[in-house]
């Protein structure tokens, strides 16, 4: 009986051992890693459409600059485009892939050096120009950074009475990228006596649904001329829908104050995003002194 039992166990083990072994699937081709950040060298050799000319001709940077065929700055065809040392990488579109923000200079033979904030997307690992925003002529640039999906530009720009050589007004500007277009969402400047000129919108909250009208309320750190701000409503394409004044309550000119005003949304088509910008503009030349904005969903 013992012999039969051992033979049976032997046959059982042999049968088990004859089962085909599991076959691992053939290894697939490795997926190349996603390039999440462009390189400085790529930006220095990217294509750039000249923004100061209506035709926006596309030029090729080589080693961070471009100059057309004529070396004579007095020639009407002279053009020099240069990438500055101010740039930043970060995700502006929310897709997990970094864009690049670059400060560019455009010069056409005169004293003007027009500074523009340019945005490049990462398309299959290559820089592709998206949009640009004018900052100032001959500003003193301090920093460009990207934080929380916004580009922040710290620069000393020209006030109304500043000479072309010598900007005096410190400023911080914040931009977002909406449908591949730059949109300025906040602007702070500093008064000659060193006070930050800032507007804060306290209500409604960002991305609030609204219809008919909305109550805008907030604060100003420096009361504007004649205690009056202005609001502008834009659609997502950047077209202005309406505008009007917003009174400010402040004890005196230059003091901190508050505002609260009902703003009609009757010109805003339902079902889309709208942007309300509140601005403090210079009474001398209309230039921007402070600005805040809010995005609402019209319904």
**Phi, psi values for residue 40, rounded to 5°:** -60, -40
- Tell me the pLDDT of the chain averaged across its residues: 89
Question: Coil, strand or helix: which one is 4?
Answer: helix
Position 204 scores a pLDDT of: 96
Q: Which residues contact 224 (CB under 8 A, 6 or more apart)?
A: 248, 280, 281, 289, 290
Residue 11: pLDDT over 80? no
Residue 47: pLDDT over 70? yes
Position 35 scores a pLDDT of: 53
Query: Taking a C-beta distance cutoff of 8 angstroms, is the pair 267, 179 a contact?
Result: no
- Stronger pLDDT, 76 or 223, i.e. the higher one: 223
DSSP state letters, 69-112:
S---TTSTT--EEEEEEEEEEE-SSSSSS-EEEEEEEEE-SSS-
What is the percent of the chain where pLDDT is above 90? 79
Residue 97: pLDDT over 50? yes
Cα dihedral 106→110→111→113 (10° resolution): 0
* Alpha-carbon gap, residue 225 to 250, rounded angstroms: 11
Domain annotation for the chain: domains and CATH numbers: 191-299 (2.60.40.2550)
* CA atoms within a 13 Å half-sphere pointing along the CA-CB vector of 163: 3
**Interval 200-230: pLDDT, tens:** 999 999 999 999 999 999 999 999 999 999 9
In Å, how far are 63, 155, 230, 249 from 259, measured between CA atoms? 50, 28, 11, 6
DSSP annotation of 64 reads T
- Tokens 């700055």 correspond to what residue? 73
Residue 37: pLDDT over 80? yes
In Å, how far are 16, 34, 135, 149 from 28, measured between CA atoms? 31, 17, 50, 36
């Amino acid at each position: 009986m013992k012999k039969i039992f051992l033979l049976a166990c032997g046959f059982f083990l042999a049968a088990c051992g004859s089962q085909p072994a599991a076959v691992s699937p053939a290894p697939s081709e490795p997926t190349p890693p996603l390039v999440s950040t462009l390189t400085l060298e790529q930006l220095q050799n990217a294509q750039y459409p000249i923004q100061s000319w209506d035709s926006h001709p596309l030029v090729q940077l080589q080693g961070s600059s471009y100059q057309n065929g004529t070396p004579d700055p007095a020639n009407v065809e002279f053009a020099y485009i240069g990438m500055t040392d101010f740039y930043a990488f970060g995700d502006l579109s929310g897709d997990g892939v970094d864009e690049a923000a670059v400060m560019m200079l455009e010069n056409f033979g005169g004293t003007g050096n027009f500074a523009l904030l340019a945005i490049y997307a990462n398309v299959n690992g290559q820089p592709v120009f998206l949009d640009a925003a004018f900052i100032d002529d001959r500003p003193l640039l301090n920093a460009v950074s990207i934080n929380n999906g916004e580009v922040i530009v710290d620069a000393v720009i020209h006030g109304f009475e500043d000479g072309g050589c010598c900007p005096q007004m410190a400023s911080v500007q914040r931009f977002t990228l909406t449908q591949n277009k730059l949109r300025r969402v906040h602007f702070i400047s500093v008064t000659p006596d060193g006070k930050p000129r800032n507007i804060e919108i306290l209500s409604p909250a960002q991305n609030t649904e609204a219809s008919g009208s909305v109550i805008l309320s907030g604060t100003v750190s420096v009361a504007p001329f004649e205690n009056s701000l202005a609001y502008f409503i834009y659609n997502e394409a950047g077209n202005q829908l309406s505008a009007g004044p917003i009174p400010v309550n402040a004890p005196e000119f230059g003091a901190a104050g508050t505002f609260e005003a009902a703003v009609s949304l009757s010109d805003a088509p339902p079902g889309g995003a709208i942007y309300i910008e509140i601005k403090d503009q210079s009474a001398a030349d209309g230039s921007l002194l402070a600005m805040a904005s809010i995005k609402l969903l019209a319904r």
